Amino acid sequence: MTIAEFSKALLNREQPLRVHLIGVAGSGMSGLARLLLEMGHQVSGSDRVTSGETERLRKSGLEFSTPHSAEAVKDADAVIYSSAIRESNPARAAAIAQGIATFRRAECLAAILHTKKGVIVSGTHGKTTTSSMAAHILREGELNPCHYVGAEIPVLGANAEWNEGGEYLVAEGDESDGTLALYQPTHAIVLNVEEEHLDHYTRGIEQIREVFTTLLDQTSGSIVYCAECPEATRLCGPRKNAISYGWEGADWTATEVSEQIGTVSFNVSFRGEDFGRVQLGIPGLHNVLNALGSLALGHLCGVDFQMASRALSSFAGAKRRFETKFLSKRYRIVDDYGHHPTEVSATLQTARSYDRGRVVVLFQPHRFSRTEKLAAEFGDALQAADHVFVTSIYAASEDPIEGITGQTIVDAVHAAGATKATYLPDLATAHHAIGNFLQADDLFLTLGAGNVHEAGNRLVADLKFLEELRVESGVENLKLYEPMARHSTLRVGGPAQYWIEPSTFEAFSEAVIFCKARGIPVRIVGRGSNLLVRDGGIRGAVIHPTGGAFSEVTADGMTITAGAGARFKKLASVAREHKIGGFEWMEGIPGNVGGGLRMNAGAMGIETFDQVVSVTFLDEDGKQRTRNREDIESFYRSVPELRRNYALQATFKGYPSSAEKIQELLDESRHHRNTTQPKAASAGCSFKNPAAIGAGKLIDELGLKETGVGKAEVSPEHGNFIVNRGKATASEVLALIEKIKQTAKAERGIELETEVKVLGEDEFTF
């Protein structure tokens, strides 16, 4: 069956065809499925995965199956396959073996297009937006058009629609594989012609010109082209049926352009005649040109200019075409499909039109061949951003090219100018670095034709939570994905999903209530002196009380009241100033009051609760309560009450002493720590002391000092300290802890219990 025969068969309503589409979940193939269903044919489809579109198509009559199988094409009249489907695919192989007519996606579209007055929108960039605009103009002009575009279009309702009574079919023509030459449209729009898809066009621009020339030769009506593109002008300008659009000297022109937030307005003239002003519902100078091309088509089809202008004012754009995914007073997150240097430049120009702070980009290169050949151009285009993060290459159907990675783009950005670029090879965790990097007034843009938008979606979900928390709790200092290595004395650990720093008891309470009401786990972290966070970070909220009431330390007689965020060192200093003895042991402890209370920290034979008078805490219901020392159970390195409740402040008792005596004891405490404990990064004592022997002495006797796993090592100064020798991971520290435990059990029969608090996930879950 030829394309012409297939086209004729599609119009025979008395004998509907049985058509199967291989790869139906893709945007292009799902659009064909919708057209064929609405034309009245029996349609089935298969794919490796389901999608929202396949579920919608099922409700319209699609018979969907997964995975691909030979059984799926049984009794089919025709089988359609996408460019990603190889001959070895079981469904395609079965169709060939059974002699079933098989067509590429573009061949099927050509067959459908030739049943109507076809309008092909072609070009290297902007096809989806322009074809959507054109279809919307014809629809608002009451021409009841059919359409087929490459993305979900909110204003059109779907990526494809068949209207039996409509005269026109507006379709996006893909030039990537040369199939543009298949179409024989009534009208054609040529947006731009550039070197692109060089994996197919091995002879470069000459071969690309040949394909576009074939399309133009086969266009029976008018050719609308952008005069701002030299190649489009070269190919279309000499033709008698050509109509141009551009800034100056073209048939259709835009003047007095004014860019506003999210929109752009301009005056439109046709061959010197002023038609009026247009308010376009999407931003960007490149979209002004796209609108001119669409207006020119509408005029050719008889749509009144005022109706066309109203259509453009209500045009909301296509999915993944400068699509705002999140907007607050502090942030705007945008997603765009741009994956060619020209598209990147246009998108960043639009981003720059917003009166905000920095433009931060996460760029996903698309295809190894494009990255290799256009790296320098990408480096130039990305200079319009303030900071560029680059993730790994989205290969599509290509095999890797040795030496070509996302780092290739980073190097090109640095070579081109002053813009900073960072390589984040793992897309699944790229949002961690970016979310922590963003600051108020940033515009963050995910850019690329692959799945880079997934990183933006993860970021959007967490930013929404954080912005709601900001409003409800009044806490201003909030961060996403804060590296816990910054907040642990051991200097290891993955990020905290939500980092919260309240400075008042009320804000602390509101933050806890807000999180718990939404099922968000809550952890309280002070200075992290007895903390080991796993490499996968901490899912949920990590609250770090600091500043304000949490940092206050006041003396009254022989008592000192301190907020949970105050350092023990500060208590020792205040006690010295007021000649209160008993606090000297705290001078060398790196933790703060909250952590010391939770684990009943101690040194030199003294424990925290030996001096506690009372503790004010937030209970599980979010209420503040104060309890006296005698009402609180405490044990060696354990206070059960504070596992469930959150300490806010505490009052401690001391005794009268002289400044000289206090200073003597402080010096003694400091000297003891300096001579017996390591200066390298550590979490303090790793193990609780067994009854029979001190943990440090046991580890020393076992000959484990200076034993290491990776960059984690048992300190040579003190056996109960594990130190970080530089960029150690939590998994290395945990492996070393386990090694020590096993040795102690095997050689002495002693089961060591960790004193350091271990939190978090082994792998990333957010």
User: Does the structure show a pLDDT above 80 at 609?
Assistant: yes
Domains of the chain: 3-108 (3.40.50.720), 116-313 (3.40.1190.10), 323-461 (3.90.190.20), 475-543 (3.30.43.10), 550-665 (3.30.465.10), 678-759 (3.90.78.10)
Long-range contacts of 576-579 (CB under 8 A, 24+ apart): 576/659, 576/662, 576/663, 576/666, 579/656, 579/657, 579/658, 579/659, 579/662
Q: Reply yes or no on whether the pLDDT at 174 is more than 90.
A: no
Q: Which strand (E) or helix (H) includes residue 46?
A: strand 42-46
Query: Would you say how long the chain is, in residues?
Result: 766
Q: Answer with the residue of higher pLDDT: 356 or 231.
A: 231
- The tally of CA atoms less than 13 A away on the side-chain side of residue 364 is 25
Q: For residues 261 and 711, which has the higher predicted lDDT (pLDDT)?
A: 711
78-81 sheet: strands from edge to edge: 63-65, 42-46, 18-22, 78-81, 101-104
- Give the pLDDT confidence score for residue 408 in this predicted structure: 97
Instruction: Report the pLDDT value the prediction gives residue 491, as an integer from 0 to 100.
Output: 95
User: Can you give 627-685 as a three-state secondary structure string?
Assistant: EEHHHCCCECCECCHHHHCEEEEEEEECEECCHHHHHHHHHHHHHHHHHHCCCCEEEEE
Start-end of H helices in 12-159 = 27-38, 52-59, 90-97, 105-113, 127-140
pLDDT (0 to 100) of residue 213: 96
- What's the pLDDT score for residue 119? 97
Q: How does residue 50 score in pLDDT terms, banded at 50, 70 and 90?
A: confident
Q: Is the peptide bond before 67 cis (omega within 30 degrees of 0)?
A: yes
Nearest to 45 by CA among 70, 8, 19: 19
Task: Check: CB of residue 133 under 8 Å from CB of residue 191.
Answer: no
The confidence score (pLDDT) of residue 602 equals 83
- State the Cα torsion 278-283-284-287 to the nearest 10°: -50
Say how far residue 264 (Cα) sits from the centre of its chain: 28
At 201 the pLDDT is: 82
Residue 249's pLDDT is 92
pLDDT for 313 equals 92
How many whole angstroms separate alpha carbon 204 and alpha carbon 195? 6
CA 420 to the chain's CA centroid: 19
- pLDDT tens figures, 441-484: 999 999 998 899 999 999 999 999 999 999 999 999 999 999 99
Question: Residue-wise over 179-209: b if at least 16 C-beta within 10 A, else e?
Answer: bbbbbbbbbbbbbbbbbbbbbebeeeeeebb
**pLDDT given at position 530:** 87
How many of the other CB atoms lie within 10 Å of CB of 476?
A: 10
Torsion from C-alpha of 363, 366, 371, 377, nearest 10 degrees? -60
Interior CA angle at 758 toward 712 and 597, to 5°? 120
Residue 48 reports pLDDT greater than 90: no
Encode pLDDT of 654-690 as tens digits: 999 998 999 999 988 888 777 778 889 999 899 999 9
Q: What is the pLDDT of residues 81-137, one digit of tens each?
A: 988 788 999 999 999 999 999 999 999 999 999 999 999 999 988 899 999 999 999
What pLDDT does residue 124 have?
Answer: 87
Helix/strand/coil (H/E/C) assignment for every residue in 450-486: CCCHHHHHHHHHHHHHHHHHHHHHCCCCEEEEEEHHH
pLDDT in tens, 489-545: 999 999 999 999 999 999 999 999 999 999 999 999 988 888 999 999 999 999 999
β-strands 187-190, 223-226 pairing: parallel
List strands edge to edge, sheet with 359-363: 323-327, 331-336, 442-447, 359-363, 387-391, 420-424
pTM of the model: 0.74
Mean pLDDT of 715-729: 94
499-509 residue pLDDT tens: 999 999 999 99
Taking 80 as the threshold, does the pLDDT of residue 318 lie above it? no
The rounded percent of the chain whose pLDDT value lies above 90 is 74
CA 514 to CA 508: how far, in whole Å?
Answer: 10
Average pLDDT over residues 329-341: 91
- Look at residue 694 and tell me whether its pLDDT is greater than 80: yes
Confidence of residue 175 (pLDDT cuts 50, 70, 90): confident
CB 752 within 8 A of CB 695: yes
Burial of 355 (0-12, 13-18, 19+ CB in 10 A): exposed
Cα–chain center distance at 611: 49
Identity of residue 242: A
Cα(449)–Cα(340) distance, rounded to whole angstroms? 9
Going by C-alpha positions, the residue among 570, 601, 594, 602 that lies closest to residue 650 is: 594
Residue 644, pLDDT above cutoff 90: no
Average pLDDT, the chain: 92
| pLDDT score of 708 | 95
